[in-house]
Amino acid sequence: MAYSEKVIDHYSNPRNIGTLDKSKNNVGTGLVGAPECGDVMRLQIEVDEVSGTITDAKFKTFGCGSAIASSSLATEWLKGKSIDDALKIDNMDIVEELALPPVKIHCSVLAEDAIKAAINDYRAKNNLAPIEVHSL
């Protein structure tokens, strides 16, 4: 399988690998996928509670190069965004940016799910109603 240059770049130099303290109230954690399916993504955001801006984002992914690249790219895009803007990230934006082939679209869907799951985890911690996640 031929990977795009951007996928190879994210795979070789992944951005924002790591772990945030999930016990903190302003940290949201999303864990999506399943080991049997060959992809598990964990995406975390740290939110400035006053401004509602995402100040930090980290990920860890078990999966193919496209899954790693999708989550790495997502963390890059999340940093500095408001929660509202973060919710606007669509999986097709990731597909386009990374030039993912059709068989790898599910990696971008998983990344979008991970973003929404992280936001919902943050919202739940702060007694806010969950936003609807369509694709899970």
Partner 1 sequence: MLKLPIYLDNNATTPVDPRVLQAMLPYFTDIFGNAASRNHPFGWKAEEGVDYAREQVANLIGASEKEIIFTSGATESNNLAIKGVYEMYAEKGNHIITLTTEHKAVLDTCKHLEKLGAEVTYLEVQSDGLLNLADLEAAIKPNTILVSVMFANNEIGVIQPIKEIAAIAHKHGALFHTDATQAVGKVNTDVNEYGIDLLSLTAHKMYGPKGIGALYVRRKNPRVKVTAQIDGGGHERGMRSGTLNVPGIVGFGKACELARLEMGQDAARLSIMRDRLENSLLELEESYLNGNKDHRLPHCTNISFKYVEGEGLMMGVKDIAVSSGSACTSASLEPSYVLKSLGLDDDLAHSSLRFGLSRFTTDEEIDFAINQTKEAVMKLREMSPLWEMFKEGIDLKAIAWAEH
Residue numbers at the binding site for partner 1 (CB under 8 A): 1, 3, 11, 14, 17, 19, 31-42, 59-65, 67-68, 103, 106, 109-110, 136
Nearest approach, Cβ of residue 35 and partner 1 (Å): 5
Handedness of CA 98, 104, 105, 106 (dihedral sign): negative
- Cα–Cα distance, 104 to 99 (Å, whole number): 10
Tell me, what DSSP letter sits at residue 35?
G
Pull the structure tokens for residue 75. 């963390």
Q: Does the annotation count 64 as an active-site position?
A: no
Kindly name the residue from 47, 107, 110, 118 that is annotated as catalytic: 107
Helix or strand or coil: residue 134? coil
Nearer to partner 1, 18 or 52 (CB): 18
Pull the structure tokens for residue 103. 């068989």
Nearer to partner 1, 47 or 75 (CB): 75
Nearest approach, Cβ of residue 28 and partner 1 (Å): 15
Q: What is the DSSP string of 101-117?
A: -GGGHHHHHHHHHHHHH
Nearer to partner 1, 5 or 84 (CB): 5
Kindly name the residue from 17, 37, 92, 136 that is annotated as catalytic: 37
Q: Which residue has the tokens 């930090």?
A: 56
Nearest approach, Cβ of residue 64 and partner 1 (Å): 4
Active site residues: 37, 107
